[in-house]
Structure 1
Amino acid sequence: MSSNSDRVDIAHRTLRQAIIEQALKAGTKLPEDEIGRHFSMSRTLVRTVLAKLQAQGLVDTHHKRTATVAQPSLDEARDAFAIRRALEREMMKAVIKRWNPAIEKLLREHVQEEEAAHAKGDVRLSTRLAGEFHLKLAELSGNALLERYLSELVSRCSLILAMYSRPHSSECAISEHSGLINILKKGDQAAAEHLVDEHLLSVESRALIEDDLAAESDIGSILSRFSTRAAG
Structure 2
Amino acid sequence: MSLPTEPGKSEAAYLALKHAVIEQALTPGTKLPEDQLATHLHVSRTLVREALARLAAEGLVEAGRKRTATVAQPSRAEAQSVFEARACLEREVVRRVIAHWTPAMGAALEGHVRSEEEAARAQPPAVCARLAGEFHIRLAQMAGNPVIERYVSELVSRCSLILAIYGHPHSSQCGIDEHKTLIEAFRRGDEKTAVRLMDSHLCSVQERALAPEKKPLAQDLGSILGRYAAGRPAAAKRPRAA
Q: TM-score range by the shorter chain?
A: over 0.9
Q: Which residue of 2 aligns with 1:14?
A: 16
Q: Which runs of 5+ in 2 are unaligned?
A: 235-242
CA distance in 1: counterparts of 2:38 and 2:171, whole angstroms: 38
CA distance in 2: counterparts of 1:55 and 1:129, whole angstroms: 22
Please give the secondary structure, in 2, of the residue aligned with 1:61: strand
1:180 and 1:196 in contact (8 A); partners too: yes
- Which deviations, in whole Å up to 9, do the C-alpha atoms of 1:7-65 show, x marking residues without a partner? 11111111111111111111001111122223332222211111111122111114651
Q: Which residue of 2 aligns with 1:159?
A: 161
CA gap of 1:122–1:40, structure 2 versus 1, over 3 A, is closer
The one of 195, 200, 213 aligned to 2:202? 200
What is the deviation of 1:163? 2.2
Give % identity. 49
Q: Which residue of 2 aligns with 1:68?
A: 70
Q: Which residue of 1 aligns with 2:219?
A: 217
Q: Which runs of 5+ in 1 are unaligned?
A: none
2:13 and 2:47 in contact (8 A); partners too: no
What is the deviation of 1:93? 1.3
Q: Which residue of 2 aligns with 1:5?
A: 7
1:53 aligns with 2:51: no
Return the TM-score normalized by structure 1. Answer: 0.93
Map 1:76-115; keep pairs closer than 5 Å.
76-115=78-117
CA distance in 2: counterparts of 1:100 and 1:186, whole angstroms: 11
Instruction: State the Cα RMSD in Å.
Output: 1.7
Letter in 1 for 2:140: A
CA distance in 2: counterparts of 1:141 and 1:113, whole angstroms: 21
* Number of residue-to-residue matches in the alignment: 232
Q: Which residue of 1 aligns with 2:186?
A: 184
Letter in 1 for 2:57: A
Map 1:99-178; keep pairs closer than 5 Å.
99-120=101-122, 122-167=124-169, 169-178=171-180
Larger deviation: 198-207 or 38-47? Answer: 38-47
Return the TM-score normalized by structure 2. Answer: 0.90
- Which deviations, in whole Å up to 9, do the C-alpha atoms of 1:110-166 show, x marking residues without a partner? 111111222236211111111111111111211011011111111100111222222
Please give the secondary structure, in 2, of the residue aligned with 1:60: strand
Letter in 2 for 1:165: G
Letter in 2 for 1:219: L
Moved >4 Å (runs of 4+)? none
What is the deviation of 1:92? 0.8
